[in-house]
Amino acid sequence: MTEDLQRKFQNELTNFKSNQKELHKTIQARKLLDSQLNENTVVKEELNLLPPDGKVYKSVGPVLIKTELVEAKQNVNKRIDYINKELKKVDELIASLEKKMDGHTESLQKLQHQLQQAQVKAALHA
């Protein structure tokens, strides 16, 4: 009985740690998306400060290529929309992982309690 509980506890702990790693990676991805969103928001604000005939250059490898202001604004807006969609996906994944982690924590607590009770019973019968 105790060995079975210990095995269940180990499996639950392994799943918990696996979810914990995935949550950590997902949070890192969210931080990256957040910084990209901030960068693009600053670029958008800077482009909005330019006069309609302002010159915009796009970096393509080691070369700067002239780009129309309207096109540059559209590209930045598309990037911001894309990043916002990705952030929404990542936030949903984080919420899901946190819910799983809560479930694993509950299971671990129950199994730990059952293990302690089994150990007490074994000590009394010894």
> What is 2-121's CATH topology?
Helix Hairpins (1.10.287)
What does the DSSP assignment read for 94-105? Answer: HHHHHHHHHHHH
pTM score = 0.81
The string of DSSP letters for 69-84 reads HHHHHHHHHHHHHHHH
Residue 50, classed as helix, strand or coil, is coil
| pLDDT grade for 1, boundaries at 50, 70 and 90 | low
Check pLDDT > 80 for residue 27.
Answer: yes
* Residues in contact with 45: Cβ distance below 8 Å, sequence separation at least 6, in sequence order: none
Distance separating alpha carbons of residues 110 and 118, to the nearest angstrom: 12
Confidence of residue 124 (pLDDT cuts 50, 70, 90): confident
Q: What is the pLDDT of residue 5?
A: 84
Structural Rg of the chain based on CA atoms = 26
Domain ranges of the chain: 2-121
Mean pLDDT on 60-83: 95
Split at pLDDT 50, 70, 90, the class of 40 is: very high
Burial class (CB in 10 A: 0-12, 13-18, 19+), 16: middle
